[in-house]
Amino acid sequence: MAKRAKPPFIGITPPYDVLLRGSQEMPIGIYHLHMATAEQLCRLHYSPGSFKAVREKLRILCEHKYVQFDALPIKSTKATRSPYFYTLDKLGFEYLEAAGLDVYKSFRASKEIDKAYLFAKHTLELNDIIISAALLKRSHKNVRLEGFRHERELKRTPYKAKWQGAGFNLIPDSLLLFRVTVADGRQGRLPIVVEHDRGSEEQKYFRRRIRAYLHMLRNEGYKQLFGVNGITIAFTTSAGVERLKQIREWTARELEETGEMQYKHLFYFTLVQTPIDPTLVWVHTTWLPLYENMAVALLGI
């Protein structure tokens, strides 16, 4: 007896569209994050009990070439795999382009998978931080993530810094634009550049990054790069307390040796652990200034 063929895919309906490009209430999808797990997408758009349904929708999108999947090797081996993460495939790209989204013409579906372990792991952890910022409005009505720019987007127009005749590019991990409403009803816009550290960057390269930020601050390069009038530079790390202490020390040393102490109030540091609690990270006093050991709240709401 012949095997019964599966019914054809009827097209992108709202439950599938929300995974690709988000919704009006939460305008974040695979398109914006570039890669995401089923759990991350479920956290953004559905209740925890909907995880299996979200995973099934992603499976169908993969089957019909709108989305493709990959997995990170655990402990850098191919023998054991982590949960899948999802990224756009050819038809997904074409669908979003037809929907009017700004797509990058250099997109190649084959380049979206088989990423190096450290790159993919960093991107997924960074996306957890971005998601936590987006979810904050559900519990705090006076603050919302107005928009963000991802590392993958910022890579197209890096900031070009110079130091002692040498030039190098700075590609921030992300820019988060918060809209905060204070008690008297006034609103303020708070741009925060997030740099996420996983403990793999050596001192030489970390300090060079700090030097590039000092160049940006001195020359007000954030105005051209981000279209904002000022920035706060927030370092997160998932590599433990000792690493947090280390990157603070490296940052302080760079400011001291370059004589750029006037910018010390713009650098903050915190430790993050998954699952990330949006209130804990953005509202509670969990951020250490560069030269003080009394933690503060980054958003101050």
Residue 178 lies in a domain: yes
Say what the pLDDT of residue 7 is.
Answer: 46
Is 123 part of a structural domain of the chain? no
Considering the domain boundaries, does residue 126 fall inside one? Answer: no
* CATH of residue 58: 1.10.10.10
CB 236 within 8 A of CB 270: yes
pLDDT tens-place string over residues 149-185? 999 999 989 999 987 778 889 999 999 999 998 777 7
Rounded Cα gap, residues 276 and 131, in angstroms: 9
Q: What string of DSSP letters covers 71-119? A: EEEGGG-SSSEEEEEEEE-HHHHHHHHHTT----TT--GGGGSS--HHH
Query: Which tens digit of pLDDT belongs to each residue from 96-105?
Result: 999 998 887 7
Residue 23's domain spans which residues?
10-115
Would you say residue 5 has pLDDT above 50? no
Does 199 lie in the same domain as 97?
Answer: no
- Model confidence at 80, pLDDT cuts 50, 70, 90, reads low
Q: How many CB atoms lie within 10 A of CB 287?
A: 20
- The answer to whether position 210 is within a domain reads yes
* Segment among 72-81, 233-242, 272-281 with least mean pLDDT: 72-81
Whether 4 shows a pLDDT value over 60: the answer reads no
Question: In this predicted structure, which of 44-48, 80-84, 246-250, 273-277 has the lowest mean pLDDT?
Answer: 80-84
- What mean pLDDT is predicted for residues 26-42? 96
Strand order of the β-sheet with 67-73 is: 36-37, 81-88, 67-73
pTM of the model: 0.91
Average pLDDT, the chain: 90
Q: Which helix (H) or strand (E) holds 212?
A: helix 203-218
Same domain membership, residue 206 and residue 79: no
Q: Is the dihedral of CA 282, 39, 123, 229 positive or negative?
A: negative
Q: What is the pLDDT of residue 168?
A: 85
Number of structural domains found in the chain? 2
